[in-house]
Structure 1
């Protein structure tokens, strides 16, 4: 008998390649394309104007990293860093942890292909950053997990961070736009200085509503199930499963997509002819290691379950 595992794995890989569009992504895409067009025209005309920033904020599992990756890989004509290539439109990196101005500067230099070969002061590192951003004609710098830049900083250090970010956008020789993505703590950084805040276009990925987003969730699950040729279960139970799925994903859109795909994978492996709540329950159990009583697809009072907790057992705090 042929092992169906490899075929199912290929179908899941194709399924995960699909991108579920949502309103915040459309706003992100539109704002970035506008800023990109402005910067390209300014460069072509030899004009130096202050750049702007976009901030995408969302909790863990909200889908912000997927959204940024989609934006940078699918924007038409966008030049990304490649070995042996002098010019790139965007440089993207994750902020190192623990983050200091010096460590962030070093990471940017590495992303630019210009790693430090000897120790330098923070000011000297950022002077190099500005110089190499201009040399490579970088239009935008993306910092992921940007909230870490502001973590555990003294007021003086925080102001230095703010001033450094503003200096990139305000450079008189080569202004660079910023794309900042991160957890809700990023708001503290953005709101620390009004001069920084007014230069930022903020976008936040909202949490799903167990009431208002039922229809959207049903449509999303229906789309993914249709992609693999497995119909969803009867109309009478779809709303209840959608509500449970929203809670199981802790109301985060990105997690909900992951759990939908996990449920479909369970259905394929079981040879089922339709996607049912049992498949979501099995996928959640596999994911969390919880007992049945703490599985939001099985329990009666599922809203009380802490779905982020692994290996949940009755009576545990």
Structure 2
């Protein structure tokens, strides 16, 4: 591996590991911090009040997973300094297709407990609840939680809702639930009013080219600086930011992905400044599209459906 390739890979990895504070994260963090403080207060007072949770929904690419990962990392740091330093939060991705039995097994594995023999679902979940208490788990995060209803039957939805409510209302050790997923997650919550009233709903809406273009311009400049590049004037225009938002299908997480990809192009050609053409090339590399379907090139880019990334034919 060449020195240039190695240095670029390191810079890109560092940029991807960076979390950008944005206007939607602060309300999410405030709600979660309140739930966490309530739970700690109940533990300190010896109470066993029902736990509550948060359901974070949004289209793919909105940055939900990164936001929740940051949320949990900050909460873990706060717990280490709290009156309950041995408490923890676990996070796992829901398997697809999901079954309650398999999900219970995944929770046990996340807790470091491996079953030595095949067990029925009821036994697995009894054991999971016991292990959640033993490991002092305050919150359970389930990512891609829309897959909890992947089978789509009424019985399956009833079982999912019952399982989540049982964890939150366990008299010995209630566990708060943090769900993140696409808009289909709302189907799980809407299916059971008792579950819905125990969950605070947070939605990451799409970006608006008009409202968010100035912020995206600042984001481009900030990322360029952190990569050791200057930002050329054409990369700091509102017009480019609007094109970037469109190219990212209006999703915040994809805006960051494409920006980092453009920086990677610039670094590999040993440029000193991030330019608009680097975004053109990054999008081409990402989609293998022709110029006619590259929103950083064509005049009427609004006609391009950026959700369909592999486009070579007329739409």
The farther-off stretch of 111-120 and 197-206 is 111-120
Q: Which residue of 2 aligns with 1:245?
A: 244
Deviation at 1:88, TM superposition (A): 4.4
Q: Distance in 2 between matches of 1:139 and 1:193?
A: 23
What are the residue-to-residue correspondences of 1:60-79 with 2, within 5 Å?
60-75=60-75, 76-78=77-79
Q: Which residue of 2 aligns with 1:190?
A: 189
Q: Distance in 2 between matches of 1:292 and 1:153?
A: 41
Deviation at 1:236, TM superposition (A): 9.6
Q: TM-score when scaled to structure 2? A: 0.92
Q: Which residue of 2 aligns with 1:280?
A: 279
Deviation at 1:268, TM superposition (A): 2.0
Q: Distance in 2 between matches of 1:274 and 1:280?
A: 12
- CA 1:77/1:161 → structure 2, altered by over 3 Å: closer, same or farther? same
Structure 2 unaligned spans of 5+: none
- CA 1:237/1:141 → structure 2, altered by over 3 Å: closer, same or farther? closer
Q: Distance in 2 between matches of 1:160 and 1:16?
A: 37
Q: Distance in 2 between matches of 1:94 and 1:237?
A: 37
Q: Which residue of 2 aligns with 1:127?
A: 126
- CA 1:283/1:219 → structure 2, altered by over 3 Å: closer, same or farther? same
What are the residue-to-residue correspondences of 1:209-288 with 2, within 5 Å?
209-234=208-233, 238-288=237-287
Query: Does the CA-based 8 Å contact 1:58-1:206 persist in structure 2?
Result: yes
Q: Distance in 1 between matches of 2:62 and 2:271?
A: 30
Kindly report the root-mean-square deviation, in angstroms, between the aligned alpha carbons of the 2 structures.
1.9
Q: Which residue of 1 aligns with 2:152?
A: 153
What SS does structure 2 have at the residue aligned with 1:287?
Answer: helix
What SS does structure 1 have at the residue aligned with 2:142?
Answer: strand
Deviation at 1:159, TM superposition (A): 1.2
Determine whether 1:29 maps to 2:29. yes
Deviations 1:48-76 (A, max 9, x none): 10100011112111111111111122332
Q: Distance in 1 between matches of 2:126 and 2:236?
A: 60
Q: Which residue of 2 aligns with 1:39?
A: 39
Q: TM-score when scaled to structure 1? A: 0.92
Q: Distance in 1 between matches of 2:16 and 2:52?
A: 32
Deviation at 1:5, TM superposition (A): 2.2
Structure 1 segments (4+ residues) deviating >6 Å: none
